[in-house]
Amino acid sequence: MATSKKTSITPSLLPMDFKTFAKNPVVATLFIVLGAIGYLYIDVKSTFKEQAVSQGFRIEKIEGRLDIVQDALRRSDSVKAVTSTQLSTLREMGAIKSTIK
């Protein structure tokens, strides 16, 4: 007659049981720490990806504001140039007196 042995396989999150941990606790603790470091690495990597996307949107907004400010500066420079030219022309014609000597 054939005898059959029953083997029970229990799923475990760790590839060791308590007996192995009790025999060599330093190695077991290092294994757990290695798993935690791996998790933190993946977590930080995904966080940086999310930050990069949000910073991309922020950069686009700031570039739009920069374009508006640059246009305003160009207009201001143009107005200043026109005003300076008109003022110097009026001084040369004698329409206004120069206070700068």
Supply the pTM of this predicted model.
Answer: 0.45
Give mean pLDDT in consecutive 10-residue pieces for the chain, a chain of 101 residues. Answer: 56 65 82 91 88 89 95 95 91 77 56
| Backbone φ and ψ of 3, nearest 5° | -105, 135
Nearest C-alpha neighbor of 100 from the set 32, 91, 75, 38: 91
The residues, ordered by sequence, that sit 6+ positions from 78 with a Cβ below 8 Å of its Cβ are none
